[in-house]
Amino acid sequence: NVISEKKMIVKLKAEATTPFRLFRQFIYGAVGAAGGLGTFTAIPQLIIAIQSNGDLENAVKNLAIDVVGIVSAVIFWKIESDNELKKISSFEVKQKKMDEKLTSEELKERELELAMLPIEIQVSEKDENITRTVSLRDLQLKGLQNVVIVAGSNTFVKDAMISARLEG
- pLDDT, tens only, 115-141: 888 888 777 777 777 888 888 888 777
Strand 118-122 versus strand 131-135 pairing type: antiparallel
* Cα distance between residue 167 and residue 160, in whole Å: 10
Check whether 53 has a pLDDT greater than 70. Answer: yes
Proportion of the chain above pLDDT 70, given as a percent: 96
**Side chain identity at 29, as an amino acid letter?**
G
Q: What is the DSSP letter of 18?
A: S
At residue 43 the predicted structure's pLDDT band, cuts being 50, 70 and 90, is very high
pLDDT at 21: 86
* Cα distance between residue 130 and residue 125, in whole Å: 9
pLDDT at 1: 66
pLDDT at 76: 95
pTM exceeds 0.75: no
Proportion of the chain above pLDDT 90, given as a percent: 29
Check whether 165 has a pLDDT greater than 80. Answer: no
Q: Count Cβ atoms within 10 A of the Cβ of residue 73 and give its class: 0-12 exposed, 13-18 middle, 19 or more buried.
A: buried
Residue of 38 and 95 predicted with greater confidence:
38
